[in-house]
Amino acid sequence: MDFELNEEQKMFQSMVRDFVDNEIVPRAAEWDETQVFPHDVVKKMAEVGLYGLHMPEEYGGSGDDISFVLAVEEISRGSAGLASSYVTTMSLAMNPIVMHGNKEQKDRYIPWVVRGANVSFGLTEAMAGSDVANLDTRYERDGDDFILNGTKIFITNGAEADFLVTFATKDKSLGYKGISAFIIEKDFPGFSVGKKERKMGHHPASAAELVFDNCRVPARNLIGQEGQGFSFALQAIDTCRVCVAAEAVGISQAAFDAAVSYAKERKQFGVEIARHQGIQFMIADMAVDLDAARLLTYRAAWQVQTTGKASAKEPAMAKLFATEAAHRICHRAIQIHGGYGYTREFLVERLYRDQRIIEIYEGTSEMQRWTIARQITALK
C-alpha cells in the first residue's frame, strides 16, 4: 500500500500552495467583507492551468483527478468561497457535459471553462432539495427549441456564471424518469438571475435564484436524451462529494494551523498555552480528525482516478467525516483563541462561518449516512 503522492503531484501541490499564499490568502478577508467576486484571480487561476484540471486532455485539460482534489484543498485553505465557486464549475456543473455531452457541446463548453468561465448547477428548488426528483421546473418541446419555466434557488455561481447546467421535468407524474438536463447560456431569452441570498459565509461566491420565464433553449443544448437528467444529476453529485470533502480538509488545515500558531504564541499563567494539557488534548484531537479526513478524501479521489467514476459509498464517507471533522476542528480553533476567536480580526472566525454550509450542500450529513447505510445493506 502506498500512501504517498508521486513526485509530479507533490510538485503540483507545492505550486498551488504558493499560488494560494500569494494570490488568495492576502485578499480572502476582503472578499469575505465586500462579497465582490474576484474575476481577476479566476483569470490567473486559468492561466496557471487550474481550470484545466481533470478535464479531457484533448481540450487542454490534465485529466488528473487527484491533482484536482489537491487544488481544491489548497484553494479552500485560502478562501472557502472561491473554492466553492471553483468546485461548482469544475466538478458539479461540468460533469454532465464531460461525461455525457456530445462532441458539439464538448467542443464549445470545455475550452470555455479551461479559459476560466464560471458555471453553475441549477438543480435545487424550494421543494426539491434532498428530494432531487421533486422538481417543479417544467419543459416542453417547441419546434427546434425547448421552453423552460420555473425557479431554482441557492445556486452557487448563479450570479457569476457564463452558462449553467440545469434540470427540468417534462411531466412531474413521471417522477425521476421525466427529468432532462439542459445547457443554458446567460443571454438565452427568458433566463434571468433573481434574488441573491445574504449568506453566513462562503463569500464571495453567490447563492442566487435563477428564473426561467418561457426560457427558449435550442434543442442542441439538451444533454444526452430526454429522461436521463436525473441519473446525470446524481452522478455529478456523487463525484462532487469528493471535492466537498477536499474543501473540508482545506478549511480544517487553515483552522488547525491558526490554532497551533496561536497556542504557541499566547501566554497565560506565565507560559505558552500550548504547554497546558487541555490545549494539547484539543490540538491532538484536531490532528487526528484532520489526518483521517484527508486519508478518506484521498482514497475517494484515488477511486475516481483509477476507475473513472465515483461509487456512492466512498465519496459519501469522505464528505460525511471530513465535513463533520471540520466542524469539530473549527470549533476547537475558536476555543483555543478564546474571545479573540470570536472577532473578525482573527481568521478562525471566518473559517467557522465558512465550514457550516459544507455539512449541508451536495447532500446533508443525514443524506450521507442514508447513502452509506443503503450501500452496505444493499437495500434499494
State which of 94, 114, 134 marks the end of a domain. 114
Distance of CA 270 to the CA centre of its chain: 44
Report, as an integer, the average pLDDT of 63-79.
93
Instruction: Give a yes or no: residue 1 inside a domain.
Output: no
Instruction: Give a yes or no: residue 177 inside a domain.
Output: yes
| pLDDT on residue 317 | 97
Looking at the structure, tell me whether residues 16 and 65 fall in a common domain: yes
Assess whether pLDDT exceeds 80 at residue 66: yes
Catalytic residues: 362
| pLDDT on residue 130 | 83
pLDDT tens by residue, 129-149: 888 888 999 999 999 999 999
| pLDDT on residue 310 | 65
Looking at the structure, tell me whether residues 247 and 371 fall in a common domain: yes
The Cα 45–Cα 294 span in angstroms is 23
| pLDDT on residue 4 | 87
**Structural domain total, the chain:** 3
Looking at the structure, tell me whether residues 361 and 239 fall in a common domain: yes
Instruction: Give a yes or no: residue 346 inside a domain.
Output: yes
Confidence of residue 379 (pLDDT cuts 50, 70, 90): low
Looking at the structure, tell me whether residues 357 and 236 fall in a common domain: yes
Looking at the structure, tell me whether residues 172 and 211 fall in a common domain: yes
Smallest Cα–Cα separation from 295: which of 316, 318, 315, 313?
Answer: 318
Instruction: Give a yes or no: residue 259 inside a domain.
Output: yes
Looking at the structure, tell me whether residues 214 and 319 fall in a common domain: no
* Residue 284, C-beta contacts closer than 8 angstroms, at least 6 positions apart: none
| pLDDT on residue 60 | 86
Looking at the structure, tell me whether residues 257 and 352 fall in a common domain: yes
| pLDDT on residue 1 | 67
Assess whether pLDDT exceeds 90 at residue 111: yes
Measured CA to CA in angstroms, residue 55 lies from 166, 175, 267, 271 at distances of 20, 32, 49, 51
| pLDDT on residue 51 | 96
Instruction: Give a yes or no: residue 179 inside a domain.
Output: yes
Report, as an integer, the average pLDDT of 7-27.
97
| pLDDT on residue 132 | 82
Looking at the structure, tell me whether residues 124 and 71 fall in a common domain: no
Taking residue 234's Cβ as centre, other Cβ atoms within 10 Å add up to 14
Looking at the structure, tell me whether residues 79 and 211 fall in a common domain: no
| pLDDT on residue 63 | 67
Cβ 72 vs Cβ 246: under 8 Å = yes
Looking at the structure, tell me whether residues 221 and 349 fall in a common domain: no
Report, as an integer, the average pLDDT of 263-269.
96
Instruction: Give a yes or no: residue 358 inside a domain.
Output: yes
pLDDT tens by residue, 279-325: 999 999 999 999 999 999 999 999 888 887 667 899 999 999 999 99
Cβ 43 vs Cβ 275: under 8 Å = no
Query: CATH number for the domain including 321?
Result: 1.20.140.10
Query: CATH number for the domain including 210?
Result: 2.40.110.10
| pLDDT on residue 124 | 95
**Containing domain of residue 167, as a range?**
119-228
Confidence of residue 118 (pLDDT cuts 50, 70, 90): very high
Looking at the structure, tell me whether residues 91 and 139 fall in a common domain: no
Instruction: Give a yes or no: residue 2 inside a domain.
Output: no
Cβ 55 vs Cβ 99: under 8 Å = no
Top pLDDT among 25 and 62 is at 25
Measured CA to CA in angstroms, residue 352 lies from 13, 42, 191, 248, 301 at distances of 25, 24, 35, 11, 25
Mean pLDDT of the chain: 95
Residue with cell 504557541: 264
The Cα 276–Cα 108 span in angstroms is 59
Looking at the structure, tell me whether residues 223 and 240 fall in a common domain: no
Omega cis (within 30) before 38 = no
Instruction: Give a yes or no: residue 26 inside a domain.
Output: yes
Q: Percent of the chain beyond pLDDT 70?
A: 98
State which of 194, 228, 262 marks the end of a domain. 228
State which of 194, 213, 228 marks the end of a domain. 228
pLDDT tens by residue, 190-228: 999 999 999 999 999 999 999 999 999 999 999 999 999
Query: CATH number for the domain including 21?
Result: 1.10.540.10
